[in-house]
Structure 1
Amino acid sequence: MDIGEYSDQHTTISFEDITSAAYKIRSGINLTECSKSHLSDMTGMDIYLKKDFLQNTGSFKERGARYALLMLSKEKREKGIIAASLGNHAQAISYHGLQLNIPVTVVMPRIAPIMKIQKCRELKANVIIEGNDMAEARKLAIELAEQEGLTYINGYDHPHIIAGQGTIALEILEQVDQIDAIVVPTGGGGLLAGVIVAIKALSSKIKIIGVESDRCASFSKALECGQPIETKIEGTLADGLAVPMVGYNAWALAKDNVDKMVTVQEEWIAVAILRLVEMEKCIVEGAGACGLAAILAGQLDEFKGKRVVLILSGGNIDTTILGRCLERGLAADGRLVKFKATVSDRPGGISELCKLIGNIGVSIKDVIHERAWVTSDVFSVEVKVVCETRDYAHSLELRELIFANYKKVKFEDLRCIKHRKPDITSLLDEN
Structure 2
Amino acid sequence: MDSDKGLSVPQYSVNLLPPLGAVVGCLLHIAVFVIAVLYRGEDATKKTDSNQQDGQKNGPAQSDQTAPRPLPINPERLKDFVEEEYLNGDLTTWEKKVGNPDEQLKEAIESTTPKIIKNSVRPKNEFLRFEDISAAAFKIQSGIQKTPCMFSRISKQYGVELYLKKEYLQYTGSVKERGVLYLLTSLPQDQQRKGVIVATDSNFALAVAFHASELQIPVFVIMSAGTSLGRVRMCRDYGAMVILFGPTARDAQSHARRLAQENGYLYIEEEDSAGYLAGLGTVGLEIYEQVPNLDAVIFPAGGHCGLLAGSAAALKHLNPKITVIGVESEKFPIVQQSLKSGHCSTEYDCITHPLYGELGGPSFGANTLKLTKKLIDKMISVREEDVLLSMLRLLECERVTADAEGAMGLAALVADKLPELKGKRVAVVVCSGNLPLPLFRHCIDKALVLDHRVCKFSVVLSDFPGEVTKLLEILGREEVRVLDIQKENIFLNTALFTIEVTCLVETRDRTHTMQLKDMLTEKYSSLKWNDQ
* TM-score, structure 2 normalization: 0.73
Report the equivalent of 1:106. 221
Number of the residue aligned with 2:205 = 90
SS of the aligned residue for 1:256 comes to helix
How many residues are aligned here?
412
* Residues in 2 aligned to 1:235 and 1:400: alpha-carbon distance in whole angstroms: 43
Give the Cα separation in 2 of the matches to 1:275 and 1:201.
32
Say if 2:125 and 2:274, in contact at 8 Å, map to a contact too.
no
Residue from 6, 17, 20 that aligns with 2:135: 20
Which amino acid counterpart does residue 164 of structure 1 have in structure 2?
A: G
What amino acid is the match of 1:302?
Answer: E
Q: Deviations over 1:170-219 (max 9, x none)?
A: 11111101111111111222111211221121111111111111222221
Deviations 1:15-59 (A, max 9, x none): 111111111111111111100110111111111000010000111
Alignment match of 1:341 (pick from 459, 463, 473): 459
CA distance in 2, matches of 1:136, 1:222: 27
Match of 1:428 in 2: none
The whole-number CA distance in structure 2 between the counterparts of 1:139 and 1:247 is: 20
Match of 2:442 among 324, 338, 341: 324
What CA RMSD, in Å, does the superposition of the two structures yield over aligned residues? 2.3
What's 1:167 paired with?
282
Question: CA 1:103 to 1:3, structure 2 compared with 1: closer, same or farther past 3 Å?
Answer: closer
SS of 2:216's equivalent in the other structure is: coil
Equivalent residue, structure 2, for 1:157: 272
- The CA deviation at 1:122 is 1.3
| Residue identity opposite 2:359 in structure 1 | A
- State the structure with more CA Rg: 2
In structure 1, runs of 5+ residues without a counterpart are: 415-431
2:506 match? 388
1:120 to 220, 229, 235: 235
SS of 2:387's equivalent in the other structure is helix
Q: What's 2:183 paired with?
A: 68
Q: C-alpha separation between the residues in 2 aligned to 1:371 and 1:227?
A: 61
Name the residue aligned to 1:40: 155
Question: Is 1:211 equivalent to 2:327 in the alignment?
Answer: yes
Which residue number in structure 2 is paired with residue 239 of structure 1? 356
State how far apart, in whole Å, the 2-side matches of 1:17 and 1:32 are. Answer: 21
- Equivalent residue letter for 1:413: D
Seen in structure 2, the aligned counterparts of structure 1 residues 252 and 85 have a Cα distance that, compared at 3 Å, is farther
Instruction: Using the TM superposition, name which of 26-35 and 126-135 deviates more.
Output: 126-135
Is the 1:367–1:384 contact (alpha carbons within 8 Å) kept by the matching residues of 2?
yes
Match for 2:306 among 180, 187, 190?
190
With over 3 angstroms needed to count, the CA separation of the structure-2 counterparts of 1:56 and 1:84, relative to structure 1, is same
Matching residue within 346, 359, 372 for 1:230? 346
Task: Map Cα deviations across residues 109-140 of structure 1 (whole Å, 9 max, x no partner).
Answer: 44544322210011221223345554554444
Partner Cα separation in structure 1 for residue 232 and residue 377 of structure 2: 36
**Aligned residue in 2 for 1:404:** 522
Does structure 2 conserve the Cα–Cα contact (< 8 Å) formed by 1:238 and 1:290?
A: no
Aligned residue in 2 for 1:202: 318
User: For residues 225 and 404 of structure 2, what CA distance do their matches in structure 1 show?
Assistant: 19
Q: What residue is the counterpart of 1:425 in the other structure?
A: none
Amino acid paired to 2:157: M
TM-score scaled by length of structure 1: 0.90
Q: Which whole-Å CA distance do the structure 2 matches of 1:112 and 1:189 have between them?
A: 23
The whole-number CA distance in structure 1 between the counterparts of 2:258 and 2:280 is 26
Q: CA–CA distance in 2 between the matches of 1:248 and 1:380?
A: 67
Letter paired with 2:382: V
Is the partner of 1:182 in helix, strand or coil?
strand
Deviates more, 1:323-332 or 1:134-143: 134-143
Shift of 1:285: 0.7
Matched letter for residue 287 of structure 1: E
Following TM superposition, by how much is the alpha carbon of 1:98 offset from its aligned partner in structure 2, in angstroms?
Answer: 0.9
**Residues 205, 141 of structure 1: CA spacing in aligned structure 2 closer, same or farther, 3 A cutoff?**
farther
Query: Could you report, residue by residue, the CA deviation over 1:371-416 in whole angstroms, capped at 9, with x for unpaired residues?
Result: 11123233211111111111111111111111111121211137xx
Q: CA deviation at 1:2?
A: 8.1
Q: Do structure 1's residue 371 and structure 2's residue 486 form an aligned pair? A: no
Cα distance change, pair 49–215 in 1 and its aligned pair in 2 (3 A): same
